[in-house]
Amino acid sequence: MAQAGKSTESESSMESVLTENRHFPPPAAFAKQAHIGSIEKYEEMHKRSVEDSEGFWSEVADELHWFKKWDTVLEWNLPDAKWFVGGKTNICYNCIDRQIDDGLGDHTAIVWEGEPIQDQDGGHAGGEPEIRKLTYNDLKREVSRFANALKNLGVKKGDVVTIYMPMVPELAIAMLACARIGAPHSIIFGGFSASAIRDRVEDGKSNIVITADGGWRRGKAVPLKDNVDEALTLTDLVKTVVVLERCQNDINMVEGRDHWWEDITATASEHCEAEPMDAEDLLFILYTSGSTGKPKGIMHTTGGYMVYTYLTSKYTFDLHPENNDMYWCTADIGWITGHSYIVYGLLPNRVPTLMYEGAPDAPDKDRFWDIIERHKVTKFYTAPTAIRAFMKWGREHIDKHDLSSLNVLGTVGEPINPEAWMWYHEVIGNEKCPIVDTWWQTETGGHMLTPLPGATTTTPGSCTKPFFGIDAAVVNSEGEPVGENEGGILVIRKPWPSMLRGVYGNRERFIDTYWSKVEGYYTAGDGARKDEHGNFWIMGRIDDVIVVAGHNLGTMEVESALVSHDAVAEAAVVGFPHDIKGTGIAAFVTLVGGIEETDELKKQVRDHVAKELGPISKPDKLQFTPALPKTRSGKIMRRLLRDIAAGREISGDITTLEDKSIVEKLQQQAD
């Protein structure tokens, strides 16, 4: 099926790029039943979607429910887009009621699995997992009840509701209840601590927080309510806290402020009409951290976000409710991936969405594969950082399970190294599942560059081509397209329905960050190149491009070369000040389990990069480390590694760092 081999090229151009000759066309049987079953169909539809974007998107929007149809599809005053102007809709109605209207009320909407596996004595090993299934009817009842409970607590249309919860069905219920009554939500990932809650509550001027006593993570209760209590000693904005009982860990309830979820819903009516919302009414704020400064509150509105996440879900994962699809995205709902591709884009597609509460290695390292086997998951969506961990843990955990139900594999969040891609393809996909490497951002709301599994020939490491309606290009700072395989700035040249509508309360930051680097275009902050097949390759954040002796090197390419060495599990590369070259390359490497760290191996790994990419890319320094410093969403914090490599004090905020001890170890070892 695939052409074998990979080669490198670094001679002629100023760039040193990893050339990939392995190509995987969609399996014929898959393409035959797919929504978009050939590259010709993709190209024809893509051309139309960009040339007549308004016609294209109004047809898609017509597939969903509107209380009142829009007057104008798009009003575009750069950088402000308004989509489906004058239209009235409700995304919660489209996630739930629309299915019930069509007679599907007793179909499964959400399948949830808790982390603890209970044995007969209530312990955490052996025995049965805790599973809940909610039909659209169940979901409507629970959402309506909670929506009424919120109203009874005084929440009104337009009020920002903060949600800080574990991955339990009530998290989806809470967000859908907010959408039902028109209260924008601001969800905070449960791994964040008190100061992050305080910052977001204050920035969003939110006076209500919905939380739980705790959430299960590797058999321990994460103290969510305690974190909220601590945050609320730092701000006096919040007047109401709703607490779901999940772990029965000890917590403190504050009289007059705190209410049990159970109590306020017990008395609430299960009938709540969905509020007709203006297409441009705020649906949610979601904070994203930049490499510098405070997190930005990214704003998404109702109509455009709904239409775009609906269509990307349908086509990227090739969803077919009639084929008993079971979809599982392993992200937390606290990230954009969970907002768009666990809840809002999925439910309108009528395919059950699976939520899992806990860690991939609880109680054992085969938990994900066990879930896939038991629930017969057909579409699986995860992140490269997880894939690299699975590789490191070894395939014996996978071989124990039957993964034959799978037919599409997705990845998101950072560039996937070709090595990890091939492993995903061979070991998880059994060489029969198309891989969709989806490039997008909190700001874009939905997939921007992605293969369509029945149409696109994939290549390890490339996120391939733009989705419908997306006019993407790689340009220089003047906005002119750069040549084939030349690195440049990734831009989007036309508006799309789910684009961010701003940074909450900070117009200047919105303009500066996204609209002032290349005139007239949206800049994502990522570097990219486009190859001879028209496929896009993300080279990492623009900040991560290093110029070594006058050569532009994407840190991603060097990392991929490092990971292609058999002994290497994961790698991060940064630049550091170098007397001769200007900038040198420092590599931080974790080894595959059981392999010994020796100087000889260091040399071998460095030589391997030189062989793969050319001597210019050979790391000047290489340090082994048991783990890399990562954010709680699994992104490598290269900013910290830059400080360590340069022998500087760590600067800037490290509150998003998952494990601080790693940084201390690295500093001690640094040469």
* List of residues contacting ligand PRX (CB under 6 A): 288, 336-337, 412-415, 437-442, 463, 524-526, 538, 541
CB of 295 to ligand PRX, least distance (A): 11
Q: Evaluate whether 220 touches 184 at the Cβ level (below 8 Å).
A: no
Q: Which one, 219 or 525, has the nearer CB to ligand PRX?
A: 525
CB of 564 to ligand PRX, least distance (A): 17
* Structure token digits, residue 522: 């949206």
CB of 439 to ligand PRX, least distance (A): 4
Q: Using CB atoms within 10 A of its CB, is residue 137 exposed (0-12), middle (13-18) or buried (19+)?
A: middle
CB of 518 to ligand PRX, least distance (A): 15
* Structure token digits, residue 444: 């874009």
d(CA 456, CA 453): 6
* Structure token digits, residue 226: 């305690």
CB of 611 to ligand PRX, least distance (A): 25
Using CB atoms, what's the residue nearest to ligand PRX? Answer: 442
Residues 6+ apart with CB under 8 A from 634: 383, 385, 386, 413, 414
CB of 448 to ligand PRX, least distance (A): 9
Q: What angle do CA 272, 276, 280 make, to 5 degrees?
A: 135
Question: Cα 613 to the chain's mean position, in Å?
Answer: 29
CB of 515 to ligand PRX, least distance (A): 16
CB of 204 to ligand PRX, least distance (A): 18
If you search the block for the tokens 């305690």, which residue do you land on?
Answer: 226
Q: Which one, 301 or 442, has the nearer CB to ligand PRX?
A: 442
d(CA 422, CA 302): 38
- C-alpha Rg value of the chain to the nearest Å: 24
Q: Which one, 244 or 336, has the nearer CB to ligand PRX?
A: 336
Q: What angle do CA 9, 15, 18 make, to 5 degrees?
A: 40
Q: Evaluate whether 369 touches 400 at the Cβ level (below 8 Å).
A: yes
Residue 228: enclosing H or E segment and its boundaries?
helix 224-232
Beta strands in 316-457 (DSSP E): 327-329, 353-356, 379-382, 408-412, 435-438
